């Protein structure tokens, strides 16, 4: 498996600083969410080549997947994001789903999402990039977010039916929403392209809460998964110290 850090891991530092730190720690990528905030995509691409580590995932310009009135704008954001990914050699694009729209039946909103994703799929297939839909918890962090459970998320992905539209499975969010983490994180492996990890409660680095990441990561690795696991978390101590502790206390036991 490959491991990534997320922008903001080093507060106030830019993407180049993060990439150099990721290389220093022997990790494999940076999640940089708002690609449109980068001043010069081609210069960043050159720096990635120099450092030997690059941006592994970004987000699309977010507009609701469940409101049909935003479909054309969402698709335009997708097109722009794919062009940026081509420059930066990014292979994963994360999309949230937006909040439930009041007054419209849930099944209609879900079908709107499926249809929009079906229209996105050929664009990602042609580009060789994966669009990752992300379920989020509605209890603590994202009240009203449409997709929260992994089973409904998998149903959406199955209806879309494209190898380039999958899920990012966030262990922190799914622990809050439904628990049963190892069963779902491994049982839906064919629909998952990427994992996010943080401990619960608090959304800080692994080892600060209730989740046994040695067992979780060993279970994921046991499926044959070779993709990215991103530390999407805050830190209770200096980031470098926290990353070293994660490697020493968790990754050293992932076989």
Active site residues: 134, 232
Beta-bridge mates of residue 131: 93, 165
Other CB atoms within 10 Å distance of the CB of residue 234 = 17
Half-sphere exposure of 202 (CA within 13 A, CB side): 12
Pairing, β 228-231 against β 192-197: parallel
Q: For the residues of the chain, what is the DSSP string, one character each?
A: -EEEEETTSSTT--HHHHHHHHHHTT--EEE-S-GGG-S-HHHHHHHHHHHT-EEEEEE-----SS-GGGHHHHHHHHHHHHHHHHHHT--EEEE---BPPTTS-HHHHHHHHHHHHHHHHHHHHHHT-EEEE----TTTT-TTBS---HHHHHHHHHHH--TTEEEEEEHHHHHHHT--HHHHHHHTGGGEEEEEE--TTTSBSTTSSS--HHHHHHHHHHTT--SEEEE--B-SS-HHHHHHHHHHHTGGG--
Residue 15: phi, psi to the nearest 5?
A: -65, -30
């Amino acid at each position: 498996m490959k491991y990534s850090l997320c922008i903001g891991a080093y507060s106030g530092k830019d993407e180049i600083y993060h990439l150099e730190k990721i290389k220093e720690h022997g990790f494999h990528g940076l999640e940089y969410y708002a690609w449109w905030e980068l001043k010069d995509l081609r210069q960043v691409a050159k720096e990635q080549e120099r450092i030997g580590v690059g941006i592994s995932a970004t987000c699309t310009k977010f507009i609701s997947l469940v409101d049909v009135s935003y479909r054309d704008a969402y698709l335009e954001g997708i097109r722009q994001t794919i062009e940026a990914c081509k420059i930066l050699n990014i292979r994963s694009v994360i999309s949230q789903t937006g909040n439930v729209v009041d007054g419209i039946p849930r099944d209609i909103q879900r079908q709107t999402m499926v249809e929009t994703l079906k229209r996105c799929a050929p664009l990602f297939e042609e580009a060789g990039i994966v669009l990752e839909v992300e379920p989020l918890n509605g209890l603590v962090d994202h009240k009203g977010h449409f997709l929260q459970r992994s089973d409904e998320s998998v149903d959406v992905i199955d209806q879309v039916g494209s190898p380039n539209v999958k899920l990012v499975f966030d262990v922190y969010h799914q622990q809050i929403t439904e628990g049963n983490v190892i069963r779902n994180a491994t049982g839906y492996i064919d629909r998952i392209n990427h994992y996010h990890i943080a401990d619960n409660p608090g959304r800080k680095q692994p080892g600060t809460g209730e989740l046994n990441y040695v067992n979780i990561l060993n279970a994921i690795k046991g499926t044959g998964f070779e993709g990215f696991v991103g530390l999407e978390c805050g830190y209770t101590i200096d980031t470098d110290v926290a990353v070293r502790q994660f490697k020493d206390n968790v990754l050293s036991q992932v076989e």
